[in-house]
């Protein structure tokens, strides 16, 4: 088995990252943190551009062809040094590799739709599989019910009315506040489909 990776092999893959960025203490550096708390700092303009761009597009993945124009302007090329740098980001889990485009929603639509399997699982389990093949915990009955409503036929007003009918003891303003945050959480988890 070969352990050498060429730029051509990396060009065939898709890239994603859910690292959140924030200014670091060092001038010109950025800090990137993964959901589990793993943190890294970098002052490399190409790394910063790569991770910020991928973070903005999460949960979707981008091809290197989509990334290349922006990265080249920041000094990141898939030459020998760039391949090593990319592999380090992959091994450290700051960059995920994918081999196919998952049918994820680009954003939250007017009538959001969760995957059919996720909606079905939310009826009988305390978890559901996302389109990213991860597990989303559904410990809260309101979250499970909300997920079941996301079949692409309800707008936010209709979702709120359905939730009010199902959870009459929960204050309406609390349910309304939960709609947008719930949609954002489900989108970032990779549950909403295109």
Binning pLDDT at 50, 70 and 90, where does residue 177 land? Answer: very high
| Averaged pLDDT for residues 6-10 | 86
Mean of the per-residue pLDDT values for the chain?
94
Q: Is the pLDDT of residue 161 over 50?
A: yes
Is the domain of 76 the same as that of 152?
no
- Is 1 part of any domain? no
2 pLDDT more than 60: no
Percent of the chain with pLDDT strictly greater than 70: 97
* One domain for residues 140 and 77: no
Domain termination residue (choose one: 98, 125, 151):
98
> Are 89 and 130 part of one and the same domain?
no
Q: What's the confidence (pLDDT) of residue 77? A: 87
Using CA atoms, how far apart are residues 192 and 184, in angstroms rounded to an integer?
10
- Tens of pLDDT, residue by residue over 73-102, are 888 888 888 899 999 999 999 999 999 999
- Asked if residue 88 and residue 34 are part of one domain, the reply reads yes
- Domain span at residue 125 reads 116-189
CB-based contact 130:116 (threshold 8 Å): no
Cα–chain center distance at 136: 13
CA distances from 113 to 55, 85, 135, 179 (A): 22, 37, 18, 14
């Amino acid at each position: 088995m070969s352990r050498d990776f060429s730029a051509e092999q990396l060009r065939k893959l898709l890239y994603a990252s859910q690292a959140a960025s924030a200014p670091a203490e060092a001038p010109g550096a950025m800090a990137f943190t993964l959901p589990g708390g793993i943190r890294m700092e970098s002052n490399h303009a190409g790394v910063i551009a790569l991770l910020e761009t991928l973070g903005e597009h999460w949960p979707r993945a981008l091809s290197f062809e989509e990334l290349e124009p922006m990265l080249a302007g920041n000094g990141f090329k898939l030459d020998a040094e760039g391949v090593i740098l990319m592999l380090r980001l992959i091994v450290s889990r700051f960059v995920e590799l994918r081999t196919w485009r998952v049918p994820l929603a680009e954003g939250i639509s007017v009538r959001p739709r969760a995957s059919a399997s996720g909606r079905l699982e939310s009826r009988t389990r305390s978890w559901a599989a996302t389109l990213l093949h991860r597990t989303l915990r559904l410990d809260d009955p309101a979250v499970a019910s909300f997920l079941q409503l996301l079949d692409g036929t309800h707008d936010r007003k209709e979702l709120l009315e359905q939730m009010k009918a199902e959870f009459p003891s929960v204050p309406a303003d609390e349910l309304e506040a939960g709609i947008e945050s719930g949609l954002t959480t489900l989108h970032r988890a990779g549950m909403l489909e295109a």
